[in-house]
Amino acid sequence: MGLRKASCYSKRPTVPYTRKSKVKNKSYIKTIPNTHLTKMRMGDISRYQAGKFPIVLSIKAKHRVQLRDNATEACRQFLNRFLVEGVGKDFYLEVKPYPHHIMRENKMLTGAGADRMQTGMALSFGKATGRASLIRMGETIFVIGVTNPKHEALARKLVGSIRARMPCPLHIDTVYNKI
């Protein structure tokens, strides 16, 4: 079955739901779906930790939102691919939020006679369908470190391209370090 549209989840105020009991019989969620995020840090990690990137871009959310793990992974793959293509190995990319929140869906039947088979809102807790990160307003989603203004322009262009993949408007904070 395909994914539900993002508006079903993204702009709702939610309480973080992360509970999985050690005792399986007492757990509402029997299985937690695996996260789609494969890597959190890419590029030249040791150089970033040493503070040797003169330009660091922080991509932040302008609104409070739920960010699904597959949207985060799609943006990460896009940024990583084109940074490697355009910059080479002189960059750093980090994904900050981790998807701890478990999303649920109460599946409903459609078609003739479906009203006689389903329970409606009785026992409507739902099954786990995916994971998301709960992002606060102004929270950093991605960090990109580059070495010169030409690479900064490329990184800004790429951030402009991922705006369509994100459920909220983005803001870029830039820090210029003296090296």
- Tell me the Ramachandran region of residue 88: left when phi exceeds 0, alpha when psi lies from -120 to 50, beta otherwise: left
Q: Which tens digit of pLDDT belongs to each residue from 160-171?
A: 999 999 989 999
Length of the chain: 179
Amino acid 158: pLDDT:
95
Residue with tokens 């993204």: 10
Torsion angle in degrees (nearest 10) through CA of 166, 167, 172, 177: -60
Q: Which two tokens stand for residue 105?
A: 């869906």
Q: Which residues of 46-65 are buried (b: 16+ CB within 10 A; e: fewer)?
A: ebbeeeebbbbbbbbbeebb
**DSSP strand E in the chain: where?**
41-43, 55-61, 65-68, 91-95, 101-105, 127-135, 140-146, 170-176
Residue 137 has pLDDT above 70, yes or no: yes
**Cα–Cα separations (whole angstroms), residue 4 to 18, 106, 108, 140:** 20, 12, 13, 26
Residue 142 has pLDDT above 70, yes or no: yes
Q: Which residues contact 174 (CB under 8 A, 6 or more apart)?
A: 55, 56, 57, 58, 152
More confident residue, 123 or 163: 163
CA distance 29 to 39: 26
* Residues 84-104 pLDDT 10s: 999 999 999 999 999 988 888
Q: Which domains does the chain have, with CATH numbers?
A: 25-104+122-176 (3.90.1170.10)
Beta strands in 96-169 (DSSP E): 101-105, 127-135, 140-146
Q: Report the alpha-carbon distance of residue 103 to residue 123 in Å, rounded.
A: 16
The residue ranking higher by pLDDT, 16 or 46, is 46
10: pLDDT confidence band, cut at 50, 70 and 90? low
Q: Is the pLDDT of residue 153 over 90?
A: yes
* pLDDT per position as a tens digit, 19-31: 777 777 777 777 7
